Amino acid sequence: MNLTAIAEQYGTPAYVYDLAAIRAAHTDLSAMLPGPAKLYYSLKANPHPLVVGQLHRLGCHAEVSSAGEIDAALAAGVDAHHILLTAPGKSAATVSYALRQGVRRFSLDSPVDLRRVAWLAEQSGTDVRCLLRVNADQPVAGLGLTMTGAPSAFGADASWIEADPAQFRGGGRVRIEGLHLYMGTNIADEDALIAQFDTAAATAQRLGPVLGELIEVDLGGGFGAPYAQTGSRPLWPSLRPRIEQVLDTRLPGWRDARPAVAFESGRYLAGSSGSLLCGVVDVKTSKGKTFVVLDTGINHLGGMAGLRRLPPLRPALAVTGPDDGRPTTRTTVVGPLCTPLDTFVRDADFPEVHPGELLAVPNVGAYGLTASLLGFLGHPAPVEVVCDGDTVLDVSHLVLAREPGPYDPAVTAADPAVGSLV
């Protein structure tokens, strides 16, 4: 991929994704996971149709959390039966939309969530197969943004399920066929990955007899990869044998798919495929300090970091032209938004750059554009260029457009399931 040529042709800001990098990440991750195992691609990392389509062709199922992500998965060619809808706030509108689109698999977070899905499945005459999302009882050492082992909106506590299994057993058109144990994101340490999979498998081992036969245990993932920094995806050479050992101990039937095991990944699969190309709009001095102003900022990258949903964003901004021997100056690099939060680099040594020059942020194929504050201030979305190696396959941009009426015209104001939940 020639980033300079792409910027010259399509302008900046520009996200550039390379499908070859996605294939390489998928090959590496698959080789580090036990076989047989199912792999879900989490669309929240990057729902671009060509990215989703590539991962679908590589055999990934889709993990989605909204009507928009259901549409993105279907548009990319994913069969509705290969979509798993997860999220703590699955409203009646979202669930009924999913059912109408043919989605039949849900991750359930609570008895209310279960009864709502059951009610809507009954109304639509549809059988659904569900995983119970479980919050393990112990926190896992080494997890950064942890979603388990602590009070959490995600899933039901394992001890709650054990104490009151009748609330979680399903029935009618809902079959509980497994567990969903996603625990944390951006885990780069092999020991921490193993610790969470051991906790997950032990939790499944404990809850299996309470719930009946488990067809699938989704062990989560959270596989780490560099974000907006230079560097390569980590490789964990002994991850596969170590997970296999955990599974042989905790879930001995897994090799014969009793239960089948599954993993989820967004960041690892998509992160290294993307760069954000930024143009330098202005360079100026204010009270002795140098400021570089870019044509892109937290509206296009890093909004989620500001919300502490991602690690603090300190993008490595590489000068794409020759910068050998350039002097560096203490510099603050900002975006175009009218807020001091829109700062990529604060008073750090930075190569001297000039208006019109091109900079690139690497490793932003995951949690880039759609994890940002796209609507704030109304700047147009950056162009998104999808390449396969040196070949440009697609050039497009997102539009935030106003249309009459709600997203789903069939939606009603009230939650039709509420009466049956109390």
Ligand X SMILES: Cc1ncc(COP(=O)(O)O)c(C=O)c1O
Other beta carbons within 10 angstroms of residue 67's beta carbon come to: 21
- Measured from the CB of residue 96, what is the shortest distance to ligand X in angstroms? 21
Q: Could you tell me where the DSSP H helices lie in 110-189?
A: 111-124, 158-163
| Binding segment (CB under 6 A) for ligand X, from list 37-45, 156-164, 198-206, 374-382 | 37-45
Under the binding rule (CB under 6 A), the answer on residue 273 touching ligand X is no
Indicate whether 296 belongs to the interface with ligand X (CB under 6 A).
no
182 binds ligand X (CB under 6 A): yes
Map residue 190 onto helix, strand or coil. helix
Q: Is 221 in the site for ligand X (CB under 6 A)?
A: yes
Cα 29 to Cα 42: distance, rounded to the nearest angstrom: 14
Q: Which of 267, 337, 371, 387 binds ligand X (CB under 6 A)?
A: 267
**Is it true that the peptide bond before 259 is cis, omega within 30 degrees of 0?**
yes
Can residue 135 be called a binding residue for ligand X (CB under 6 A)? no
Residue 370 touches ligand X, criterion: CB under 6 A: no
CB closer to ligand X out of 106 and 223: 223
Q: By CB under 6 A, tell whether 335 contacts ligand X.
A: no
Dihedral sign of CA atoms 294, 295, 299, 305 in order: negative
By CB under 6 A, residue 302 contacts ligand X: no
Give me the residue label for tokens 């050492």. 141
User: Nearer Cβ to ligand X, position 65 or 331?
Assistant: 65
Per-position x/- string for 51-90, each x denoting binding to ligand X as judged by CB under 6 A, each - no binding:
------------x----------------------x----
CA quadruple 151, 155, 160, 161: dihedral, nearest 10: -160
Sign of torsion over alpha carbons 149, 94, 97, 373:
negative
Q: Which is nearer to ligand X, 45 or 114 (CB)?
A: 45
What are φ and ψ of residue 128, in 5° steps?
-125, 150
Q: Is 343 in the site for ligand X (CB under 6 A)?
A: no
For residue 289 the two structure tokens come to: 């300090």
The continuous run of DSSP H or E covering 100 comes out as helix 92-100
Nearer to ligand X, 49 or 221 (CB): 221
Q: Interface residues with ligand X (CB under 6 A)?
A: 42, 44-45, 63, 86, 182, 185-186, 221-223, 264-268, 366
